[in-house]
A and B are shown apart, each in its own frame.
Chain A
Amino acid sequence: QKEVEQNSGPLSVPEGAIASLNCTYSDRGSQSFFWYRQYSGKSPELIMSIYSNGDKEDGRFTAQLNKASQYVSLLIRDSQPSDSATYLCAAATGANNLFFGTGTRLTVIP
């Protein structure tokens, strides 16, 4: 059983639209959740972290966490072609490591 699951994608949105990325996790003991962006051939880059239920906004990015539903999402408003990348959802399910999903590839079409 996978610890963290994400939309299989790929996801394509037009420039200026809202991109919605979703993630579920299996371990109810998970306390910390993260979204990473990974450009092709590059390493993951931290975008957002969220620790409590509700929304957390940072610029064009909003992370949402619902621990009862074991669900995490990332919204990207006013999507830009530079947002085209693979987005990785991660959950801290143990004391000392992250479990990552397989990632959702997002393409923003100019």
Chain B
Amino acid sequence: DAGVTQSPTHLIKTRGQQVTLRCSPISGHKSVSWYQQVLGQGPQFIFQYYEKEERGRGNFPDRFSARQFPNYSSELNVNALLLGDSALYLCASSLVSYPNTGELFFGEGSRLTVL
């Protein structure tokens, strides 16, 4: 069975550009969450989507947005990139229904470098 898949795995952008990251959850999982992990730190919560609705948002600026599609895949968009946005962006899916958190299963991540 396929796990959580993310694309692209690596990407390099320059300041001010925009980026879109994609995620497909484990089959049967309806909840998708996005986390940012800066080197040396634990993952930080950005968004959670369940049944195509935003169910939670972390302390990130409005430059960050996301959406979930009818097939439960998800996209994370970041506009006006800053150097500080350089990080590993992790997508996680969960079988447990909202509002419970449940066990999160992470994809391999998209490593974003902003120059």
Contact with A along B43-81 (1 / 0, CB 8 A): 111001010000110100000000000000000000000
Q: Please tell me the number of chain A residues within 8 Å of chain B, measured between CB atoms.
A: 23
Interface size grouping (class) on chain B: 20 to 34
- Within 8 Å by CB of A95, from B42, B99, B103, B106, lies B99
Q: Give every chain A residue within 8 A of B90 (Cβ-Cβ).
A: 43-44
Is the beta-carbon distance between B103 and A46 smaller than 8 angstroms? Answer: yes
Q: Give every chain A residue within 8 A of B108 (Cβ-Cβ).
A: 42-43
Q: How far is the CA of A85 from the CA of B56 in the complex (A)?
A: 30
Given contacts A42-B108, A43-B109, A45-B106, contact A96 B42 (CB under 8 A): no
Which of A4, A94, A97 gathers the greatest number of chain B CB atoms within 10 Å? A97
Closest to B111 in A: A41
Q: How far is the CA of A34 from the CA of B43 in the complex (A)?
A: 13
Is the beta-carbon distance between A92 and B42 smaller than 8 angstroms? Answer: no
CB distance from B17 to the nearest CB of A (A): 24
CB distance from B41 to the nearest CB of A (A): 6
Is the beta-carbon distance between A44 and B58 smaller than 8 angstroms? Answer: no
Interface status of A26 (Cβ within 8 A of chain B): no
Q: Report whether over half of chain A's contact residues are helix, strand or loop; otherwise say mixed.
A: strand
- Within 8 Å by CB of B55, from A88, A95, A101, A102, lies A95
- Within 8 Å by CB of A94, from B40, B44, B56, B103, lies B56
Is the beta-carbon distance between B42 and A100 smaller than 8 angstroms? Answer: yes
Closest to B40 in A: A102
Interface status of A71 (Cβ within 8 A of chain B): no
Interface residue ranges of A10-48 to B (CB < 8 Å): 32, 34, 36, 42-46
Interface status of A49 (Cβ within 8 A of chain B): yes
CB distance from B84 to the nearest CB of A (A): 17
Q: Give every chain B residue within 8 A of A97 (Cβ-Cβ).
A: 33, 45, 48, 56, 58, 101
The 7 closest A-B pairs by CB, nearest first: A100-B42, A96-B56, A95-B99, A92-B101, A97-B45, A43-B106, A96-B48
